Amino acid sequence: MPIYSYKGMDRSGKEVRNTINVDSIATAKQRVKSMGIMLIDIREQRAQNTGAGGGMLRLGGSVPVDDLAMMTRQLATLIKAKIQIVEALGALTDQVDNANLRLVLADLRQKVNEGASLAKALQDHPKVFNSIYANMVEAGEASGTLEIVLLRLADFTESQVKLKNKIKGAMTYPVIMAVFGFVMMNVIFIFVIPKIAKIFISMKKELPIITQICIWISNFLVNYWWLVILGIITVIYVTLKYISTPSGMSRWHALQLRLPILGILVKMINVSRFCSTLGTLMNSGVPILTALTIVKNLIPNVHMKEAVEKARQSVSEGASLAQPLIQCGYFPPLVTHMIKLGERSGELEPMLKIISENYEDQVQSRIGGLTSILEPIMMICLGLAIGFIVFAVVIPMMNMNSLR
């Protein structure tokens, strides 16, 4: 069922822009007029159209993960209530607020109505539905447990959103403090220190080394501020360019794993993602080799990705999943031991679920601990910088008083 966007005026003379999901443009015009809106323009939304904000809406564009998780849970509820997929997709198309998601759902409904499977229709929108989503839906359709798979997908998506929001929330305060400190220090060196330096220079006395350093930094920033900005941009550009190369990315990811505090957190996040994704896929009926391929593509760290690929090759040859993970050294002994027990007992999926839940809790506590460590570190660094400036200003003043 196509989606039509319309523009009109209500009874109070206010401009109205919205979309409507009906079977034809004639029905759309009748529906809009029945709402008491004087129609100005109406057109069907296809591959692209102009939204209410004047931007371009593209079919298959990205969709916020929160909206995707909510839609998945609603679709699972409708299918569990024995509503046909086509009708469920049509109902969701009328309910969702996100314009891109509304277009995608309308396209899914049309393709499923034409005889395509839901999983095949999802694969046409890789920006919205990743390989995990499509493969789990395909397994659910094949096993007749689509509503259960969709509920697991909703839980999995929501847990990933919570972890991402937790990390963002933990880094917000340190980032604000760093930006505030950087701006404040530049204001002091560029606007305050030059005025104080004129007084000190007029004394025609030898200044302490700390004051000389402070004045030199101030003069450099005042006269060569453009060079500082150019240097920062150059360093960022060269670093990002180097990291984008295979060798640079390998060294950068290796450094991440070796960092004292962040390295442990990076390992824990990757282990949690590995276990939760693999367990969810296998529990939904996805073959283990396919599941390991999907999991490998979801792990950002190249060294841990290589370890997962070796594990997939080991499983494809009929060997153990745990052994390559033990040999790489990136997976904690407790994790590999539980995976080995799961393989021996035939209860790998429950073991993976236990590991992922345990590590999600540990990741959250680690993030909280990291925040509590970063806050005093930022305060100490800011205090040292301010103390440096204060001493650079106070010492010459004390010398002036002693001379008097």
Q: Which two tokens stand for residue 90?
A: 């049509």
Average pLDDT over residues 351-371: 81
Which residue from 300, 297, 319, 327 is spatially nearest to 309, judged by alpha carbons?
297
Rounded CA separation 383/308 (Å): 45
pLDDT digit string, tens, across residues 22-68: 667 778 778 878 888 887 777 776 544 333 333 333 444 578 888 88
Q: In the structure encoding, which two tokens stand for residue 164, read together?
A: 């991402």
* Lookup result for tokens 């180097």: 242
Phi, psi of 137 (to 5 degrees): -65, -40
Distance between CA atoms of residues 153 and 170, nearest Å: 26
**Amino acid (one-letter) located at 136:** M
Neighbours of 144 (CB within 10 A): 8
Distance CA 13, CA 11 (A): 5
**Cα gap 280→120, rounded to integer Å:** 20
Model confidence pTM above 0.95? no
In this prediction, residue 177 carries a pLDDT of: 85
Q: Do residues 294 and 149 make contact, with C-beta atoms less than 8 angstroms apart?
A: no
Report the SS3 class of residue 179: helix
Tokens of residue 2, six digits: 């196509």
| Residue 60: other Cβ atoms inside 10 A | 16
Tell me if residue 57 falls in helix, strand or coil.
Answer: strand
Q: What is the largest CA-CA distance in the chain?
A: 96
- For residue 21, pLDDT over 70 is answered with no
pLDDT, tens only, 70-97: 898 899 889 888 888 888 888 888 788 8
Distance CA 64, CA 350 (A): 30
CB contact at 8 A, 342 and 351? yes
Instruction: List, as one string, the DSSP characters of 314-358.
Output: HHHTT--SHHHHHHHS-S-HHHHHHHHHHHHHT-HHHHHHHHHHH
In single-letter form, the type of residue at position 142 comes to: A
What pLDDT, on the 0 to 100 scale, is given for residue 49? 38
Least confident of 116-125, 260-269, 316-325: 260-269
* CA-based nearest residue to 206, from 4, 396, 6: 396
- Which among 145, 157, 152 has a CA at the least distance from the CA of 79? 145
Q: Which amino acid is at 314?
A: S
Contact between 102 and 68 under an 8 Å Cβ cutoff? The reply is no
More confident residue, 131 or 210: 210
According to DSSP, the β-strands at 15-21 and 38-45 are unpaired
Least confident of 68-82, 245-259, 270-284: 270-284
pLDDT above 90 coverage of the chain, percent: 10
Q: How confident is the model at residue 226 (pLDDT cuts 50, 70, 90)?
A: very high
Query: What domains sit in the chain, N to C, each tagged with a CATH number?
Result: 3-58 (no CATH), 65-129 (1.20.81.30), 154-404 (no CATH)
pLDDT at 233 over 90: yes
Percent of the chain at pLDDT exceeding 70: 93
Quick: pLDDT tens for 277-332: 888 888 878 888 888 888 887 788 899 989 999 999 999 988 888 888 888 888 88
Q: Concatenated DSSP letters for 100-148?
A: HHHHHHHHHHHHHHTT--HHHHHHT-TTTS-HHHHHHHHHHHHHT-HHH
Strand-pair partners of 39: 8
Q: Give the chain's mean pLDDT.
A: 82
Which pLDDT tens digit goes with each residue over 121-174? Answer: 898 888 888 877 888 888 888 777 788 888 888 887 887 788 778 778 777 888
Between CA 197 and CA 205 the distance in angstroms is 12
